[in-house]
Amino acid sequence: MYYLALVVVPLWLAIIETSDFLIGVVISSRFFLPLILSIHGGVLMDRLGGRRVMIFFGIIAVITPLLFPAMPWIGAALILQMLLGLADAMGWIGAQTLIGHHMRGSTKFTIRLSFTCRFGPLFAPIFIGWVWDTYGPNWVHWDVYGPILPFAVISVAGLGMLLCAVSLPKNPSMDQNSKTPMHTQLRVRDLLPRWVDYVAAFRLLFVPAIALIVMISALSHIGASTHSGFYVVYLGRTGFSGTEIGILVTVVSVAALFGALSTKWMARIFKPYWFVMAIVLAGILAIALTPAFGMFWMLAIAAATLGAANGSTQPIIISTVLRAVDQEDRGKAVGLRSTMNRVASISAPILMGTVSEFAGLELSFYFVGVLAIILMGSLVIYVKKSAELTASNKKYTDNDG
């Protein structure tokens, strides 16, 4: 669903709006509600179970895409983008929390999760790019139907999320050691955000390993949000077709798939913190240099670099966070990481849109690259000065399953 919307929504925004700043705001709005509610969503996963929460947001994922063509205004797109982003985020939070609850944050199973979630994006971006080229602005019935078919495809993907959630066991038993038993009856107060849950989640940042990994994860989302937003806008403006853009998005997913398979092997060769920081920075710089890559094959290599970086580091990031906390806090930890990811995902497009308004879209890409170098350099200094992080920065062994 994410990779379908990644292609369609920016192309749709480029038609209904001319301001780069407003386009950047709408693209970023996908992450507004997850920013506020990710921790609460993780707490709900701990308290009520992933199935109930994921079914609710699966329904939202089915309905929301169909409303985009019905309301072709920038204000409506802003609201719909927020709802679609929240539904997508809760599905991903649910998947990670289930790994933590039932597989104890195992690196092996986290790698499998990261690997299998790449299969959908292999063909989805190319397909949705073809759908846009065929049934987009050049379609003979565009004036009557608009982008109904491209957004209907996103709705079908949301239906897949809903069906997967429904297929989960209705009452999965929690681990006997858990201090947070599953409620059998849903209560209204269980659905309301509680300040104490947010405080407890942010207290996890006092654990050095969680603080480091959460910050690295947030930085990786600077590159991801750039790729999912102005990257598509820039390519569309420079003459690349929807199909070509879809191919480049798919290249990212293919590289991420193979990157995920290499994670454990690479972690046995390199110390994980240095490996994750170096690879994440390489991925960000690959996308930040997009304006310098004028040819399709060069863009494909850069896209592969970003994908390999995301795929190879994601399992380490997820498993480190899950294994650093007790079981009853794993939903909170996933929600905390998601919240910080959203901060980065919201900030990057808005900053790019602002820079683009004053200095041009090309310079906004380079701005992202310089910012990433500065922030990652700060994290390197943090690790070097922390005795606890230095001691825990060890290569993986056969026991790190």
pLDDT tens across 223-238, in order? Answer: 888 887 788 888 888 8
pTM: 0.71
pLDDT value of position 209: 86
pLDDT above 50: residue 306: yes
166-180, 265-279, 378-392: segment of lowest average pLDDT: 166-180
Q: Mean of the pLDDT values across residues 261-267?
A: 77
Q: What's the 3-state SS for the chain? A: CHHHHHHHHHHHHHHHCCCHHHHHHHHHHCCHHHHHHHHHHHHHHHHHCHHHHHHHHHHHHHHHHHHCCCCCCHHHHHHHHHHHHHHHHHHHHHHHHHHHHHHCCCHHHHHHHHHHCCHHHHHHHHHHHHHHHHHCCCCCCHHHHCCHHHHHHHHHHHHHHHHHHHCCCCCCCCCCCCCCCCCCCCCHHHHCCCHHHHHHHHHHHHCHHHHHHHHHHHHHHHHHHHHHCHHHHHHHHCCCCHHHHHHHHHHHHHHHHHHHHCHHHHHHHCCHHHHHHHHHHHHHHHHHCHHHCCCHHHHHHHHHHHHHHHHHHHHHHHHHHHHCCCHHHHHHHHHHHHHHHHHHHHHHHHHHHHHHHHHCHHHHHHHHHHHHHHHHHHHHHHHHHCHHHHHHCCCCCCCCC
Q: Which domains does the chain have, with CATH numbers?
A: 2-169+200-392 (1.20.1250.20)
Q: Mean of the pLDDT values across residues 102-128?
A: 70
Position 102 confidence tier, pLDDT thresholds 50, 70, 90: low
Position 400 confidence tier, pLDDT thresholds 50, 70, 90: low
